[in-house]
Amino acid sequence: MTDRYLHTELIFDTVTVAAAADSTSSAIDLNKYRPEGFFSLQVTLTGTGTAKIEHEGSNNGVDYLTPFGSIDIVTAHTATSGPGADGKHIYRFYPKPIRFLKIKVTETAGAAAVVVTITLLVQ
């Protein structure tokens, strides 16, 4: 019988992403989690910009690529996104089988910065 553990990791802690810029998390070695394929991000965003959030993967820990067929985790997260219209939401995503994971946040409106806090959950 496989134990099912939920692992969380704070990957962005009130990180400012400038207008039309991006920020990428440190590499997360998924081997330490023994993932069963369930991933989600809890996002809190402030500021007047718009954020796109995506993931990149690597099997060698050196070259990080957007896996073929992957879709963005979210394309237009703002300070009014989420069920409470307060910039807070949880997004499930489905990375391909990879050893190392990075999360990339891009401000896409080009006019204002965003500040993001993101916690990754892996099961």
7-114 — its CATH code? 2.60.120
> Tens of pLDDT along 11-29?
999 999 999 999 999 999 9
Structural tokens at position 113: 């910065």
Pairing of strands 88-93, 22-24: unpaired
% residues pLDDT > 90 (the chain): 81
Half-sphere exposure of 62 (CA within 13 A, CB side): 1
Low-confidence ranges of the chain (pLDDT < 70): 1-4
* Three-class secondary structure of residue 4 per DSSP: coil
What is the pLDDT, as a whole number, of residue 54?
97
Q: How many CB atoms lie within 10 A of CB 47?
A: 19
What is the pLDDT, as a whole number, of residue 67?
87
